[in-house]
Structure 1
Amino acid sequence: MKRDILIVPFNPKEELIIACDNSGAIGKKVMDEVSVPYEIVGKLLFRVAYMECVAAGGIPFSIVLQNFNGDESWKPLVDGIQEGVSEAGIKELPITGSTESNFSLIQSATGMALLGKRQLGWSEPDFTQFTCNLAIIGKPLVGDEVVTQSKDVAPLQLFRWFAEQNDILSVVPVGSKGIAYEMSRIMPNRHDQLSFSSALDLKKSSGPSTCFIVVYKREFHEEVISMANKWIYGYTTI
């Protein structure tokens, strides 16, 4: 499945993964649409880029941060990124980048590129060869909901756990286009025929990938239910 990443040849055994995310009108400026500390902005930017990288089989090794919010916001953004790194349960990543200090914007703007590596020739298993289930982990949230309903956001460490299991055939972060869009990419000809175990708004934005999709072998179902626990919001047979 094609992800929102760039793959670049790196060496004879590995390829480079570049995963990006950006944030606009979210921060501490007066004209921002969503008012949150820059620590949260940094943490959520890392979240999206990390999930995209890992979903494609990558191991993150560095971060490039683009800051258009002034010098004083650099440290809070980095602190937020490091909080996300800690939540994912991975080793600390080196961070570089730049701050626009010549001009001041009336709204916040921040961007991030996360660099990762994967083995050359990596590919997801062909889940059409198995009897599978599909589950939604976490709740689709956007804007202020991400803060006010943070308990419904799927934890990064849980995402990482699913990505590392052999019986999980695919992990797919859900972004601003919603669950239905991501399912149409997974199963172009069958996504509109699925019936979930609970009511879900399949078209709602999931903002900074507050939920994700897992495709797994059906015999792994009990393990998925047990591990996802309160963060599983629906499942179906495919």
Structure 2
Amino acid sequence: MGYHGRDVEVVSISKEQYLVASCDSCGAIGMKDLDEVRISWSITGRLTTRVALMEVLSTGAVPQMMTVAISNEPYPTGEGILEGVREELVFARLTLPMAISTEKNIITQQTGLGVSVIGVAEKNQLRIGTSQSGDNIYCLGFPKVGPEINNPEDSEIVQIHHIQALLNICGVHDIIPVGSRGIHVEAQQLASNVKKQMIVDPSCVLDLHKSAGPSTCLIVSASSSSIFDLKSSGFERLPLTKLGRLD
């Protein structure tokens, strides 16, 4: 179907359901000789898995299965990455079957990883293009990238349970994880998808053009009455910034 810049693909599989697929890739981040960012392979696996899961969950879909494509040898790189993948699933309280592939023929000098997640959404619960005129747009978390991220449980970045909580708040509409394109592009795309404009709040001090790396923040459109629920739903330690409103 294509959804105007969203990092997911949505296909109708029946009168009642959509198939929702997302993927995320990661290169030169790990412990190999030529990696640009030096970090444990388990963190590489965990954060890459988080991105793909958040993209599917944010649409209202329920993840059903995943694939993990590791462009490196099974041990030690593959084993370390898979440790992180499984840790993130446990942290998200999800159990998913997965297809796994590693490189067994060529010696590699940089870490390479791709994770895909496939989910199913009920058509009446799909969270794409549901924003409404007058909605406020908020950013949860801070945009961080590269060496700024060394702790998957950093209190300033979004995690799976934040999306799971947002899905249960009345008045929350679109939920979009922010990646390398930055907050501004994602917010403008959200507005464009519902044929509205975003009026930027002059008090916003976030860098709207900075890459958010492995989706360290997300944007949310919500009715003005939802701000109390946002502040009281487990986000008290996570930065919440008003970006503007839809008009």
Query: Fold match, TM over 0.5?
Result: yes
Counterpart contact for 2:50–2:159, Cα < 8 Å: no
Deviations 1:75-131 (A, max 9, x none): 32222112212222x3311121211110022211111111111124654364325x4
Return the offset for 1:203: 0.1
Question: Which residue identity is paired with 1:230?
Answer: R
8 Å CA contact 2:61, 2:126 repeated in 1: no
CA distance in 2, matches of 1:40, 1:115: 22
Structure 1 residues 159 and 196: alpha-carbon distance in aligned structure 2, compared to 1, 3 A threshold:
farther
Q: Percent identity?
A: 27
3-state SS, counterpart of residue 127 of structure 1: coil
Correspondent of 1:212 among 211, 218, 231: 218
Change (3 A) 1:67 1:236: closer
Counterpart for residue 234 of structure 1 = 241
- Give the corresponding residue for 1:190: 197
User: In 2, Cα distance between the equivalents of 1:166 and 1:118?
Assistant: 18
- Look up the match of 1:31: 34
Report the TM-score, using the length of structure 2 for normalisation: 0.87
Paired with 2:163 and 2:56, the residues of 1 have a C-alpha distance of: 12
The whole-number CA distance in structure 2 between the counterparts of 1:155 and 1:223 is 18
Q: Is the 8 A contact 1:60 1:114 kept in 2?
A: yes
Higher mean C-alpha displacement, 177-186 vs 119-128: 119-128
Distance 1:17 1:148, change over 3 A: closer
Query: CA offsets per residue over residues 184-218 of structure 1, 9 Å max, x none?
Result: 10113523x31154410000000000000111111
Tell me the residue number matched to 1:200: 206
Q: Secondary structure at the match of 2:132?
A: helix
Matching residue of 2:106: 103
TM-score (norm 1): 0.90
Q: Is the 8 A contact 2:28 2:111 kept in 1?
A: yes
Give structure 1 stretches of 5+ with no counterpart.
none
Q: If each structure's helix is expressed as a fraction of its own residues, which one has the higher value?
A: 1
Where does the alignment leave 5 or more consecutive residues of structure 2 unmatched?
Answer: none
- 2:57 is matched with 54
CA RMSD of aligned residues (A): 2.0
Letter in 1 for 2:242: Y
Contact 1:196 1:234 in 2 (8 A): no
- Higher mean Cα deviation, 19-28 or 148-157? 148-157
Paired residue secondary structure (2:10): strand
Contact 2:179–2:212 under 8 Å retained in 1: yes
